[in-house]
């Protein structure tokens, strides 16, 4: 009787504490800003099944992914048999479904074996084959040890029951219990009875420990991560959430206090398993800078649980807030569907809207757009590209209102020689292919991508609505552009304000012209070429194959890939407004990527983004000025072969 009382008291205490602790975190999550994530349930369940049940992202590292799959599914199966074990130890009865079900007994024993293999696999990974991004700590080993105790104690308990003749279950199905029982066939009955008592208590004390540890450790993801995955963003990958701006002057928005984050951003914090995969994909962290996406969730959770009243500016260094390139690598890598980038953006939004501690370089960008409509701080007719683009004789939409495509040239081509060459080459290709297109000319303004990622939502929305009105008046339906940042904003973010367009990047348009026979590369280009994947072209919008197909269509071109490419590509360091910053301190990310370019031995670096082209060209000239390496946009390379 005393055993039953102790068991239920311990169960009540540990389960009660677990429920109280989880509920307190749930209340914190509910305190966040409202956000609608209840739409499109079919898509959400589909994603849930692939990421939670099948653990797709975890299996990006195949060997560990299999180990994790083993003990995740195995542990769930064993939770059912733990109830049977409790009844056997307390009341000497078994659940008939379990004791006599041959299928379940086989599944149970297989689950025990898989969990044991999974635990030892994870231990080996942490101690022998540990990735650099995986942080080791005592609690990680404690959890693995507890899992091992739970499984082995259940195996031994059932083995002793079977070897003592106490269990009448089907022996053939319980293959692991049967195999283990051969080691205990001569066990004395009294010793066996006492041993069964010991392993029974070990099993449930380990489970009680779990219930106390989980709410206070990274393993809280066992409770919240499945929900976090279901409520992941279904917006286009490159789209930032809009802010509903009021009409009052001096309005602040974004995140200044922890409760200014949305409930989903707070749910991220408790779902984070602190595995470090985000840091492994973060170009800033990989380049030794202050920005570390894992630290965002970790620090926010720490301050939430300590109930501190500190502001965001007191919790995070300004270098960490402004260092994010918004490349999306962290979000793409996270197996728990945490959305790190949006937190950096919301921190920036508050800094900008409160007009406090805005870096000087960023203020200059805002001023340039407010005064001239471009971040360069000059009107378009003052830029080096104005006359050159006019010399092409490209019609404007006013002159050619029936044009099928608007060629959105973008700001950079008007002010930078490298970007200008790419814009001109693409325009010439369009003309030679007989494409019916037009430009905006002097009516073209910045798309607003840069200021939005710098946190100036008010200025972005002003620009976006102005452009949408202009496009509507001119009947724009299809847009082509050489800038992936313009592509992402026009395609994925203007729709938030009613601007629905088909936006095509120049790499995809060129590939289509080639496939339809509108372009025929004839001139041999015997060069070893490496291609840099732009984050906004590739990771956010999925254009990986098209640029490679264009290069492979050019006679003589031999393509060599960098060490990190396509989905795993490394950022150039220009995104998120960083193109306009770090002029004095240097850009560690672009330096990092430049060494990867040089390591290929290529004679030509092919880019598909003006920012990437400019910043990598500057770094290559700085690091190895004598290197015979040409940096060209893909349109330039293709035009030279026509």
Nearest-5° Cα angle at 500, 34 to 438: 145
Residues 57 and 186 in one domain: yes
Residues 329 and 421 in one domain: no
- Residue 512's pLDDT band (cuts 50, 70, 90): very high
Domain stop point among 498, 514, 530: 514
Can you give the CATH number for the domain in which 419 is found? 3.40.50
DSSP-assigned beta bridge partners for residue 439: 396
286-295 exposure pattern, b = at least 16 Cβ within 10 A, e = fewer: bbebebbbbb
Asked whether the predicted pLDDT for residue 583 surpasses 70, the reply is no
pLDDT of residue 585: 62
For residue 527, CA distances in Å to 162, 559, 641 come to 72, 9, 12
- Residue 567's pLDDT band (cuts 50, 70, 90): very high
Residues 507 and 529 in one domain: no
Can you give the CATH number for the domain in which 202 is found? 1.20.950
**Neighbouring residues of 311: CB distance < 8 A, sequence distance ≥ 6:** 256, 257
Q: Is residue 252 part of a domain?
A: no
Q: Is residue 214 part of a domain?
A: yes
**How is residue 9 written in tokens?**
């008291």
Strand arrangement of the beta sheet that strand 502-505 belongs to = 437-438, 405-408, 478-481, 502-505
**How is residue 200 written in tokens?**
């029974």
pTM over 0.95: no
Q: Is residue 437 part of a domain?
A: yes
- Residue 247's pLDDT band (cuts 50, 70, 90): low
Through-space distance between the first and last CA atoms of the chain, rounded to whole angstroms? 91
Domain stop point among 467, 483, 514: 514
| Percent of the chain's residues with pLDDT above 90 | 74
* CA–CA separation, 85 and 88 (whole Å): 5
pLDDT of residue 248: 60
| Average pLDDT, integer, range 186-211 | 88
Helix (H, G, I), strand (E, B) or coil at 168: coil
Give the largest Cα separation in the chain, rounded: 100
* CA–CA separation, 534 and 481 (whole Å): 14
Residues 156 and 206 in one domain: yes
pLDDT of residue 130: 84
Nearest-5° Cα angle at 282, 280 to 287: 90
Q: Is residue 219 part of a domain?
A: yes
Phi, psi of 408 (to 5 degrees): -85, 100
pLDDT in tens, 255-275: 999 999 999 999 999 999 999
* CA–CA separation, 19 and 213 (whole Å): 12
Residues 571 and 506 in one domain: no
Instruction: Please state, rounded to an integer, the average pLDDT across all residues of the chain.
Output: 92
Q: Is residue 44 part of a domain?
A: yes
**Neighbouring residues of 508: CB distance < 8 A, sequence distance ≥ 6:** 543, 546
CB atoms within 10 A of CB 526: 9
Residues 208 and 330 in one domain: no
| Average pLDDT, integer, range 437-463 | 95
* CA–CA separation, 496 and 184 (whole Å): 68
pLDDT of residue 424: 97
Asked whether the predicted pLDDT for residue 426 surpasses 90, the reply is yes
Asked whether the predicted pLDDT for residue 165 surpasses 70, the reply is no
| Average pLDDT, integer, range 522-532 | 91
pLDDT in tens, 548-562: 999 999 999 999 999
- Answer for the pair 229, 337: CB distance below 8 angstroms, yes or no: yes
Asked whether the predicted pLDDT for residue 184 surpasses 80, the reply is no
pLDDT of residue 626: 87
Residues 152 and 110 in one domain: yes
Q: Is residue 625 part of a domain?
A: yes
Q: Which of 560, 490, 558, 488 is nearest to 531 (CA)?
A: 560
Q: Which of 402, 482, 400 is nearest to 447 (CA)?
A: 482
Q: Is residue 237 part of a domain?
A: no
pLDDT of residue 297: 94
Q: 444 or 245: which carries more pLDDT confidence?
A: 444
Asked whether the predicted pLDDT for residue 312 surpasses 60, the reply is yes
| Average pLDDT, integer, range 91-119 | 87
Residues 598 and 537 in one domain: yes
Asked whether the predicted pLDDT for residue 277 surpasses 80, the reply is yes
Helix (H), strand (E) at residue 480: strand 478-481
Domain stop point among 230, 248, 273: 230
**Residue 517: left (phi > 0), alpha (psi -120 to 50), or beta?**
left
Residues 473 and 571 in one domain: no
Q: Which of 481, 485, 422, 446 is nearest to 617 (CA)?
A: 422
Residues 168 and 295 in one domain: no
Phi, psi of 409 (to 5 degrees): -65, -40
Residue tagged 């975890």 (tokens):
58
Q: Is residue 546 part of a domain?
A: yes
SS3 per-residue string spanning 562-631: CCCCHHHCCCCCCCCCHHHCCCCCCCHHHHHHHHHHHHCCCCEEEECCHHHHHHHHHHHHHHCCCCCCEE
Helix (H, G, I), strand (E, B) or coil at 235: coil
Can you give the CATH number for the domain in which 280 is found? 1.10.1060.10
pLDDT of residue 45: 97
| Average pLDDT, integer, range 539-549 | 97
- Answer for the pair 564, 599: CB distance below 8 angstroms, yes or no: no
Asked whether the predicted pLDDT for residue 168 surpasses 60, the reply is no
Residues 422 and 540 in one domain: no
pLDDT in tens, 486-503: 999 999 999 999 999 999
pLDDT of residue 178: 86
**How is residue 326 written in tokens?**
């918004």
Range of the domain at 341: 258-353
**How is residue 405 written in tokens?**
């495509």
**Neighbouring residues of 166: CB distance < 8 A, sequence distance ≥ 6:** 160
Q: Dump the DSSP string for 318-329.
A: HHHHH------H
pLDDT in tens, 22-49: 999 999 999 999 999 999 999 999 999 9
Asked whether the predicted pLDDT for residue 169 surpasses 70, the reply is no
Residues 406 and 529 in one domain: no
pLDDT of residue 326: 97
SS3 per-residue string spanning 403-417: CCEEEECCCHHHCCH
- The total of structural domains in the chain comes to 4
């Amino acid at each position: 009787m005393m055993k039953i009382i102790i068991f239920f008291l311990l169960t009540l205490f540990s389960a009660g504490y677990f429920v109280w602790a989880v509920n307190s975190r749930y209340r914190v999550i509910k305190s966040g800003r409202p956000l609608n994530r209840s739409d499109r349930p079919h898509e959400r369940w589909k994603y849930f099944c692939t990421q939670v049940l099948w653990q797709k992202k975890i299996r990006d590292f195949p060997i560990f992914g299999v180990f994790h799959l083993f003990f995740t599914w195995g542990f769930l199966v064993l939770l059912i048999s733990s109830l049977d074990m409790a009844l056997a130890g307390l009341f000497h009865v078994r659940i008939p479904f379990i004791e006599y079900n041959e299928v379940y007994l086989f599944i149970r024993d297989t689950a025990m074996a898989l969990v044991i293999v999974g635990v030892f696999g994870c231990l080996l990974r942490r101690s022998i084959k540990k990735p650099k991004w995986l942080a080791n700590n005592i609690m990680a080993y404690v959890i693995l040890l507890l899992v091992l105790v739970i499984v082995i104690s259940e195996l031994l308990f059932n083995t002793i029951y079977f070897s003592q003749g106490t269990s009448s279950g089907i022996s053939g199905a319980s293959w692991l219990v049967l195999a283990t029982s051969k080691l205990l066939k001569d066990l004395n009955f009294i010793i066996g009875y006492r041993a069964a008592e010991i392993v029974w208590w070990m099993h449930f004390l380990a489970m009680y420990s779990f219930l106390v540890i989980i709410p206070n450790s990274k393993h809280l993801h066992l409770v919240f991560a499945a929900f976090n995955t279901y409520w992941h963003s279904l917006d286009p990958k490159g789209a930032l959430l809009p802010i509903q701006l009021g009409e009052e002057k001096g309005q602040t928005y974004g995140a200044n206090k922890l409760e200014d984050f949305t409930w989903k951003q707070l749910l991220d914090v408790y779902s984070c398993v602190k595995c470090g995969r985000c840091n492994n994909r973060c170009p800033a962290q990989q380049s030794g800078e202050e920005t570390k996406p894992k630290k965002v969730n970790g620090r926010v959770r720490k301050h939430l649980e300590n109930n501190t009243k500190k502001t965001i500016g007191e919790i995070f260094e300004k270098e960490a807030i402004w260092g994010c390139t918004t490349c999306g690598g962290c979000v793409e890598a996270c197996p728990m569907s945490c959305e790190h980038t949006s937190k950096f953006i919301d921190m920036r939004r508050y800094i900008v809207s409160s007009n406090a501690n805005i870096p000087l370089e960023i203020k200059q960008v805002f001023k340039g757009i407010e005064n001239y409509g471009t971040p360069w701080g000059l009107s378009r007719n003052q830029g080096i590209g104005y006359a050159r683009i006019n010399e092409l004789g490209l019609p404007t939409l006013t002159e050619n209102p029936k044009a099928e495509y608007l060629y959105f040239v973008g700001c950079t081509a008007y002010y930078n020689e490298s970007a200008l060459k790419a814009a001109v080459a693409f325009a010439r290709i369009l003309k030679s292919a007989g494409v019916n297109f037009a430009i905006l000319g002097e009516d073209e303004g910045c798309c607003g991508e840069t200021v939005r990622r710098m946190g100036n939502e008010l200025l972005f929305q002003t620009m976006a609505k102005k452009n949408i009105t202009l496009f509507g008046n001119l009947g724009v339906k299809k847009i082509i552009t050489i800038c992936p940042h313009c592509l992402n904003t026009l395609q994925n973010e203007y729709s938030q304000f009613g601007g629905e367009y088909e936006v095509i990047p120049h790499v995809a348009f060129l590939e289509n012209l080639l496939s339809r026979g509108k372009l025929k590369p004839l001139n041999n280009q015997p060069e070893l070429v490496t291609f840099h994947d732009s984050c906004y072209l590739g990771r956010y919008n999925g254009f990986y194959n098209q640029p490679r197909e264009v290069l492979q269509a050019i006679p003589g071109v031999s393509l060599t890939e960098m060490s990190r490419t396509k989905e795993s590509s490394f950022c150039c360091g220009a995104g998120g407004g960083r193109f306009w910053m770090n002029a004095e301190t240097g850009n560690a990310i672009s330096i990092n990527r430049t060494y990867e370019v040089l390591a290929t031995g290529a004679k030509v670096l092919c880019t598909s983004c003006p920012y990437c082209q400019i910043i990598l060209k500057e770094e290559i000239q700085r690091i190895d000025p004598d290197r015979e390496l040409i940096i060209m946009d893909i349109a330039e390379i293709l035009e030279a072969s026509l």
